[in-house]
């Protein structure tokens, strides 16, 4: 039964592993050079934070970083659509499952072998890919903590072991869709739609609630104030843009509040003088404005998750998607009744 399953599965498996192998070879060839460039960067900065040099290094490789991030993010969905959905759906659509069932092979054993072989292949593909990409991307991730922290939805789905959980969920989702719909192409479409929806819902509605976010009141200074939106009604200020000096943190919200802690929808017109002056002569006006802003009790309230929550969040999400995968596999076993 395992041999038969491999015979049916080998073409899509070799296609995916062949493509991933080519990517891995490229990473192995270019990775050492990237690490040497990173070491030279740190040596040139003398161990200090060099934002300009870091940005130059990061943006010099941004295309490759984004491409690899997209690869890891999309891989579980691809496995679910092209491995999971045809796994049972194609058999039921063409009727080939009867050839096995009529040869004294129990239906649930048939299902267990197919899910086991393809599920194991998905785990290996996702695990090795995320390991290779995370190794290659480490220098770029380390220099972009202020821009794209690992906890942010952009990198979280492509850097930790939660990718394995996504792959298990996607494959079992595809298998369940094929079993219920009994047609391959509609099952592939449903698998893709549900997987994308889940990948949007989890980071926006569920992941932020894995732990209580930290709330930090930050004084507004000339150093962290990056802009003033003076386009409010009646000459008022609509809002302030304040840089959050929290490297690696996942910022959920950043809002200006008054002395009572209420969100300031608009600010007085005089706050426009707090903007960064175009000439040195305006620095005195800005300083006086910022002092008045502080005296009035205005400050920036930042809600965030600190970077040390990355691995616990990865564990929570892996458990959630792994459990969903088990439930979907259980649904398949319930639907495939013994003869």
Give the tens place of pLDDT for each residue, 21-60. Answer: 999 999 999 999 999 999 998 888 876 778 788 888 888 8
Q: What is the distance between the alpha carbons of residues 84 and 194, in angstroms, rounded to a whole number?
A: 13
Tell me what percent of the residues of the chain surpass a pLDDT of 70: 92
Task: Give the pLDDT of residue 202.
Answer: 95
Q: Considering the chain, what is the average pLDDT of its residues?
A: 88
Nearest to 292 by CA among 216, 220, 217, 242: 220
For residue 304, tell me if it sits in a domain.
no
Identify whether residues 39 and 93 lie together within a single domain.
Answer: yes
For residue 127, what pLDDT band results from cuts at 50, 70 and 90? very high
Identify whether residues 199 and 258 lie together within a single domain.
Answer: no
For residue 101, tell me if it sits in a domain.
yes
Q: Is the pLDDT higher at 146 or at 177?
A: 177
Identify whether residues 326 and 239 lie together within a single domain.
Answer: no
Q: What is the distance between the alpha carbons of residues 140 and 244, in angstroms, rounded to a whole number?
A: 20
Let me know: does 111 contact 332? Beta carbons within 8 Å. yes
Identify whether residues 226 and 183 lie together within a single domain.
Answer: no
For residue 82, tell me if it sits in a domain.
yes
Q: What is the distance between the alpha carbons of residues 10 and 230, in angstroms, rounded to a whole number?
A: 62
pLDDT digits (tens, 9 = 90+) for 232-290: 676 788 888 888 778 889 999 999 999 888 998 888 888 888 888 888 878 889 999 99
Let me know: does 318 contact 165? Beta carbons within 8 Å. yes
Instruction: Look at 61-75, 85-99, 157-171, 246-260 and tell me which has the smallest mean pLDDT.
Output: 85-99
**Within 10 A of 266 (CB to CB), how many other CB atoms are there?**
16
- Residue with structure tokens 């002569």? 281
For residue 302, tell me if it sits in a domain.
no
Domains held by the chain: number: 2
Q: Taking each helix axis as running N to C, give the angle between helix 107-142 and helix 310-335, from 0 to 180 degrees, rounded to the nearest 10.
A: 160
Q: What is the distance between the alpha carbons of residues 2 and 62, in angstroms, rounded to a whole number?
A: 43
Identify whether residues 7 and 101 lie together within a single domain.
Answer: yes
Nearest to 118 by CA among 174, 74, 186: 174
Q: For the whole model, what pTM was predicted?
A: 0.87
Identify whether residues 226 and 206 lie together within a single domain.
Answer: no
For residue 327, tell me if it sits in a domain.
yes
Identify whether residues 169 and 277 lie together within a single domain.
Answer: no
Identify whether residues 30 and 132 lie together within a single domain.
Answer: yes
Q: What is the distance between the alpha carbons of residues 47 and 32, in angstroms, rounded to a whole number?
A: 21
Collapsing DSSP to helix, strand or coil, 149 comes out as coil
Identify whether residues 246 and 324 lie together within a single domain.
Answer: no
Q: What is the distance between the alpha carbons of residues 309 and 333, in angstroms, rounded to a whole number?
A: 36
For residue 181, what pLDDT band results from cuts at 50, 70 and 90? very high
Tell me what percent of the residues of the chain surpass a pLDDT of 90: 55
- Residue with structure tokens 């949007």? 200
Identify whether residues 191 and 74 lie together within a single domain.
Answer: yes
**Over residues 226-233, mean pLDDT:** 80
Instruction: Look at 54-58, 82-86, 99-103, 144-148 and tell me which has the smallest mean pLDDT.
Output: 99-103
Task: Give the pLDDT of residue 232.
Answer: 67
Q: Where are the beta strands (DSSP E) in the chain?
A: 214-218, 225-229, 239-242, 250-257, 299-305
For residue 313, tell me if it sits in a domain.
yes
Identify whether residues 254 and 148 lie together within a single domain.
Answer: no
Phi then psi dihedrals of residue 228, to 5 deg: -130, 125
For residue 44, tell me if it sits in a domain.
yes
Residue 66: which domain range? 2-210+309-335
**Over residues 9-16, mean pLDDT:** 83
Nearest to 238 by CA among 278, 260, 269: 269
**Within 10 A of 108 (CB to CB), how many other CB atoms are there?**
15
Q: Could you write out the three-class secondary structure of 253-307? A: EEEEECCCCCECCCECHHHHHHCCCCCHHHHHHHHHHHHHHHHCCCEEEEEEECH
Let me know: does 168 contact 321? Beta carbons within 8 Å. yes
Identify whether residues 252 and 197 lie together within a single domain.
Answer: no
For residue 216, tell me if it sits in a domain.
no
């Amino acid at each position: 039964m395992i041999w038969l399953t491999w015979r049916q599965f080998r073409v899509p498996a070799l296609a995916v592993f062949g493509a991933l192998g080519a990517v891995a070879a490229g990473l192995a060839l270019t990775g050492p050079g990237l690490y040497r460039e990173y070491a030279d960067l740190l040596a040139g900065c003398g161990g200090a934070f060099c934002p300009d040099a870091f940005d130059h290094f990061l943006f010099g490789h941004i295309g490759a970083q984004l491409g690899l991030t997209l690869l890891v993010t999309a891989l579980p969905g691809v496995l679910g659509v092209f491995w999971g959905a045809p796994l049972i759906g194609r058999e039921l659509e063409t009727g080939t499952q009867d050839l096995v069932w009529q040869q004294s092979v129990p239906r649930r054993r048939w299902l267990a072998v197919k899910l086991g072989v393809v599920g194991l292949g998905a785990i290996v593909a996702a695990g090795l890919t995320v390991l290779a990409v995370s190794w290659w991307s480490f220098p770029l991730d380390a220099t972009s903590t202020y821009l794209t922290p690992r906890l942010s939805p952009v990198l979280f789905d492509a850097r930790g072991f939660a990718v394995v959980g996504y792959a298990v969920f996607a494959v079992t989702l595809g298998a369940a869709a094929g079993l219920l719909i009994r047609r391959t192409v509609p099952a592939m479409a449903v698998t893709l739609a549900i997987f994308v929806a889940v990948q949007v819902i989890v980071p926006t509605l569920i992941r932020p609630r894995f732990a209580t976010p930290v709330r930090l009141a930050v004084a507004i200074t000339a150093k962290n104030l990056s802009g003033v939106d003076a386009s409010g009604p009646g000459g008022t200020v609509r809002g302030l843009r304040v840089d959050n000096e929290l490297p690696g943190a996942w910022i959920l919200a950043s809002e200006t509040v008054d002395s009572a802690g209420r969100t300031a929808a608009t600010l007085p017109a005089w706050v426009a003088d707090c903007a960064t002056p175009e000439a040195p002569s305006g620095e005195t006006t800005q300083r006086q404005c910022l002092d008045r802003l502080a005296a009035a009790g205005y400050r920036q309230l930042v809600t965030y998750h600190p970077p040390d929550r990355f691995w616990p969040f990865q564990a929570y999400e892996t458990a959630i998607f792994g459990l969903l995968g088990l439930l979907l596999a259980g649904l398949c076993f319930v639907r495939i009744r013994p003869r």
